[in-house]
């Protein structure tokens, strides 16, 4: 169980003064966003980009599978787990609603990855037109990856307002 926690909760050392890259998934999705600008402008997808999308899938699925295993073991995200005195292991107020938000953002990440696959395959839209939306979806995916990590640590507004 400790190995699952280690894999699921791995964070990167601070790379920037502003914590925009907190986990491997945020780093990989940020690279995907920057890389998605080229296919959007050129109107074509190169094999390297497709490989990076697969790497992003792997980076998402590893914590997702370990998270499901931890949830089946009865664990919740740290921000909604009381370790004593109404505080989390980070010393912040407990917010039970954050566990649901963590799952919601994970679902958004899965949906975003699926939409990226559809756009690069050209299934619903003409491929060149669909690739124009690629940076929007990859930026959204980066934001979702960032929020997955954020809601696991920090309490939400419901703690401050008491709702």
Q: What does the pLDDT read at residue 159?
A: 58
Q: How many CA atoms lie within 13 Å of 30's alpha carbon, on the beta-carbon side?
A: 10
Q: What percent of the chain has pLDDT over 90?
A: 50
Asked whether residue 163 carries a pLDDT value surpassing 60, the answer given is no
Q: Does some domain include residue 116? A: yes
Q: Does some domain include residue 100? A: yes
DSSP state at residue 123:
S
Q: Does some domain include residue 25? A: yes
Q: Does some domain include residue 87? A: yes
Asked whether residue 161 carries a pLDDT value surpassing 60, the answer given is no
Q: What separation, in Å, do the N-terminal and C-terminal C-alpha atoms of the chain show? A: 33
The answer to whether residues 134 and 116 touch, using CB atoms and an 8 Å cutoff, is yes
Domain that holds residue 65: 1-7+19-155
Q: Does some domain include residue 12? A: no
- Look at residues 30, 80, 38, 16 and name the one whose alpha carbon lies nearest to residue 59: 30
CA distance 66 to 129: 36
The continuous run of DSSP H or E covering 75 comes out as none
CA distance 153 to 9: 10
Structure tokens at 20: 């925009």
Q: Does some domain include residue 141? A: yes
Q: pLDDT tens, 58-111?
A: 999 999 999 899 889 888 888 888 888 888 888 888 888 888 898 999 999 999
CA dihedral defined by 4, 5, 8, 11, rounded to 10 degrees? -140
Question: What total number of domains does the chain contain?
Answer: 1
Query: pLDDT class for 16, splitting at 50, 70, 90?
Result: low
Q: Does some domain include residue 44? A: yes
Query: pLDDT class for 45, splitting at 50, 70, 90?
Result: very high
Q: Does some domain include residue 163? A: no
């Amino acid at each position: 169980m400790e190995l699952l926690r280690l894999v699921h909760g791995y964070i990167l050392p601070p790379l920037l003064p502003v914590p925009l890259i907190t986990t491997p998934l945020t780093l990989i999705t940020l690279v995907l966003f920057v890389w998605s600008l080229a296919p959007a402008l050129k109107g074509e997808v190169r094999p390297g980009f497709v490989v990076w999308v697969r790497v992003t899938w792997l980076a998402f699925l590893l914590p997702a599978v370990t998270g499901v295993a931890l949830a089946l073991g009865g664990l919740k995200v740290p921000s909604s787990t009381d370790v004593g005195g109404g505080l989390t292991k980070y010393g912040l107020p407990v917010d039970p609603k954050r566990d649901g938000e963590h799952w919601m953002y994970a679902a958004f990440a899965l949906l975003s990855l699926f939409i990226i696959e559809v756009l690069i395959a050209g299934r619903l839209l003409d491929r060149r037109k669909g690739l124009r939306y690629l940076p929007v979806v990859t930026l959204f995916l980066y934001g979702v990856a960032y929020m997955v990590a954020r809601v696991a640590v920090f309490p939400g507004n419901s703690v401050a307002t008491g709702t």
